[in-house]
Structure 1
Amino acid sequence: MKVILFGATGMVGQGVLRECLLAPDVEEVLAVGRRATGQQHEKLRELVHENLSDYSSVEDRLTGYDACFFCLGVSSAGMSEADYRRVTYDLALAAARTLVKLNPGMTFVFVSGSGTDSTGKSRSMWARVKGETENALLQLPFKAAYMFRPAYIHPMHGVTSRTRLYRAGYAVMGPLYPVLKALIPKYVTTSEQVGRAMLHVVRHGAPKRVLENADIDALEATGP
Structure 2
Amino acid sequence: MKVVLFGATGMVGQGILRECLLAPDVEQVLAVVRSPTGQRHEKLREVLHQDFLDYGAIEASLQGYDTCFFCLGVSSAGMDEQAYSKVTYDVTLAAAGVLLRLNPTMTFIFVSGAGTDGTEKGRVMWARVKGRAENALLRMPFRAAYMFRPAFIQPLHGIVSRTRLYRALYAVLGPLYPVLKRLAPRFVTTTEAVGLAMLEAARSGAPKQVLENDDINALAARVAR
Please give the range of the TM-score, normalised by the shorter of the 2 chains: over 0.9
Q: CA deviation at 1:56?
A: 1.1
Alignment map for 1:118-129 (pairs within 5 Å): 118-129=118-129
Q: Is 1:91 aligned with 2:91? A: yes
- Deviation track 1:87-127 (CA, whole Å, cap 9, x = no partner) reads 00000000000000000111000000000001112100000
Alignment map for 1:122-201 (pairs within 5 Å): 122-201=122-201
Alignment map for 1:204-219 (pairs within 5 Å): 204-219=204-219
Partner of 1:71: 71
Number of matched residues? 224
Q: CA deviation at 1:196?
A: 0.3
Unaligned runs of 5+ in 1: none
- Deviation track 1:53-90 (CA, whole Å, cap 9, x = no partner) reads 00012111000001000000000011000000000000
Q: CA deviation at 1:181?
A: 0.3
Alignment map for 1:13-24 (pairs within 5 Å): 13-24=13-24
Q: Is 1:32 aligned with 2:32? A: yes
- Deviation track 1:139-175 (CA, whole Å, cap 9, x = no partner) reads 1111000000000000000010112222121111111
Contact persistence 1:33–1:52 (CA under 8 A)? no
Percent sequence identity over aligned pairs: 70
Partner of 1:4: 4
Secondary structure, counterpart of 1:200 in structure 2: helix
Give the distance between the partners of 2:88 and 2:29, measured in 1 at CA.
Answer: 22
Contact persistence 1:150–1:212 (CA under 8 A)? yes
Moved more, 159-168 or 190-199: 159-168
Secondary structure, counterpart of 1:5 in structure 2: strand
Give the distance between the partners of 2:164 and 2:86, measured in 1 at CA.
Answer: 23
Give the distance between the partners of 2:191 and 2:209, measured in 1 at CA.
Answer: 20
Partner of 1:57: 57
* RMSD of aligned Cα (Å): 0.8
Instruction: Give, as a single letter, the amino acid of the residue that structure 1 aligns with 2:135.
Output: N
Instruction: Give, as a single letter, the amino acid of the residue that structure 2 aligns with 1:118.
Output: G
Secondary structure, counterpart of 1:47 in structure 2: strand
TM-score (norm 1): 0.99
Give the distance between the partners of 1:69 and 1:142, measured in 2 at CA.
Answer: 13
Q: CA deviation at 1:222?
A: 1.2
TM-score (norm 2): 0.98
